[in-house]
Structure 1
């Protein structure tokens, strides 16, 4: 049996991590893990109030995401994960999951991000935190197993771009 592979669809709020991640998971016949569902209740309340999380507050959440990937790998399953993974140090935590961990950074122009986060409903992340997320975002390093994919207006095109970039 081959080693499990995890594709972490990453980026700031509003990039379409969940939408693209679910579609990529469906195309690849993999489990989908929504990283936002693994946030402790206190983190969600803090972000909903417009207060950015500190690195120390993010760490338990990142470990939960990593552990979910490792649990899937222990069962022989590969996954697609939606997780912001904004800093290299956050990705370092995720990379310790069992199996191969690859990153897909969804790159979206700021104006599009602003429009998306201002007009979406039912998400705890307010538009006021977009600047904080953009300031925190560190691009993938040359030593990281990942790709950056510009997001087109259509999810299907973006999914095809993701799959092509991953090979």
Structure 2
């Protein structure tokens, strides 16, 4: 890759319904990095709690965040790269994920509550019910520049969002490559 040295991990963050998994997968394809969905690191008790319509507490989140941080440490320790979709809503959560590392970057997917509520209403088969969106926005502490963050609007196609992230990472030169997956070509996030 041309440009600056690549971080070992990207954490694609934002509230539920912002498109974290979709964008993280597309970034993984573009960069040739492994994708992990942060939801897969949740203990079963967290999934059941959310499925029942109850927001998670900080105490619920610590084991989950530490499991993701452990995975980042393993991947980075092997000299590999990973992209993880994870809400990472609070500064303290992002601190746990970083564990003081400077080789991890956050990609913050920003969007209005109305746009995301519309997407959640159309999403099928996910354990996070749309009713919890308000608690997600209430919990959200938008990342600050000192948190090694790339902020992008979700009001674009997947390809445009990925192009913007790659451009800000300065990993792919001046001309972004096209996303190779037909499923990802200029699709607007659901």
TM-score, normalised on structure 2? 0.83
Maintained 8 Å contact 2:7/2:105: no
Maintained 8 Å contact 2:8/2:75: no
Aligned to 2:9: 6
Moved more, 90-99 or 108-117: 90-99
Paired positions, count: 166
Unaligned runs of 5+ in 2: 171-190
Aligned to 2:126: 123
Deviation at 1:161, TM superposition (A): 1.2
Deviation at 1:3, TM superposition (A): 7.8
- Separation in 1 of the partners of 2:86 and 2:150? 15
SS at match of 2:79: coil
Q: Which has more radius of gyration?
A: 2
Aligned to 2:103: 100
Q: Which consecutive aligned stretches of 4+ in structure 1 deviate over 6 angstroms post-superposition? A: none
Aligned to 2:165: 162
Maintained 8 Å contact 1:33/1:80: yes
Maintained 8 Å contact 1:10/1:104: yes
Unaligned runs of 5+ in 1: none
Aligned partner of 2:75 among 63, 72, 81: 72
Deviation at 1:124, TM superposition (A): 0.4
Matched, 1:24 2:54: no
- Separation in 2 of the partners of 1:98 and 1:142? 16
- Separation in 1 of the partners of 2:65 and 2:163? 28
Matched, 1:132 2:135: yes
Q: Supply the RMSD in Å over aligned alpha carbons.
A: 1.5
Deviation at 1:132, TM superposition (A): 0.1
- Separation in 2 of the partners of 1:4 and 1:10? 16
